[in-house]
Amino acid sequence: MLSEKISHFAAEGISSFSFSELEQRISSSPTALKSALRRLMKKGEIAMPYQGFYVIVPPEYRSLGCRPAEQFIPDLMNYLGEYYYVGLLSAAEYHGAAHHRPQVFQVMVAKPRRTIISGKVQVNFIVRGNIEAIPTQPRNTVSGIMKLSTPEATAFDLAGYYRHCGWLDNVATVLSEMVEVIDPEKLVTVAELSPITWVQRLGYLLETVGSEEIWQPLAGYVNAKNPVRSPLLPSATIKGARFNKRWQIYVNTKVESEI
């Protein structure tokens, strides 16, 4: 029976599988296999976060309707053959920012991809330019190794994709929890991989929440680039805004960290 085969998969440490892999292991017609898979899905023993890709759901995760995203994203992205890394608030949580646990799992990808909702688990995909150049680090999970943006790369992504991160107040809060793991010199290296407006915004936010040793090298980078003056919040007017000379930025919104 398929249920027994799935149990054998789990015993072997296999937490996910594709329909094509299942066909290779079980001598049965595609129609019969799909019918059996649907029955197991109704029982909550497996989930299908993506068409043709199945996740074995242990009893402790049945209430979620799926395994946590970090336990299947590496296998799913390998199945899709796409480069990725876990980023933004999801990466920040691994780097020590746990003040607000993200409600969705955020994955950076090279091209647009629809949100995944499987049970109570939601995965949002955010397109990142020059994604393969962004520094990542491995993170062990119970189901394998996951790619995670480094603290410095995460900081830039937070500043650049603030709309996906609860806006600037929340970004400032998250950065305040990450300052201890951010390397100031590595920040300057990663700065070359992001738009200069992101660098200006991140620098201002780090000065707001961190010590001078964190943001000083980045200030030197911005000074050398001599960028065009830009607004802290692009969607707001700069009329009447204070100008910050160090970051060449119009402070056209008030930013307050919760910490």
- pLDDT score of 45: 94
Q: What is the pLDDT of residues 122-145, one digit of tens each?
A: 999 999 999 999 999 999 987 789
Q: Residue 115 above 80 pLDDT?
A: yes
Section 47-59 average pLDDT: 95
Bridge partners (DSSP) listed for residue 121: 118
Length of the chain: 259
Q: Residue 99 above 80 pLDDT?
A: no
Exposure string of 125-143, with b = 16+ CB inside 10 Å and e = fewer, is: bbebeebeebebeebebeb
Q: Which CATH class is domain 2-61?
A: mainly alpha
Question: Which two tokens mark 195?
Answer: 């738009």
Q: What is the pLDDT of residues 10-49, one digit of tens each?
A: 778 889 999 998 888 887 888 988 999 999 999 999 999 9
Q: Which is it for the CA torsion 57, 58, 62, 63, positive or negative?
A: negative
pTM of the model: 0.93
- Where, residue-wise, is CATH 1.10.10 in the chain? 2-61
Residue bearing tokens 């027994």 = 4
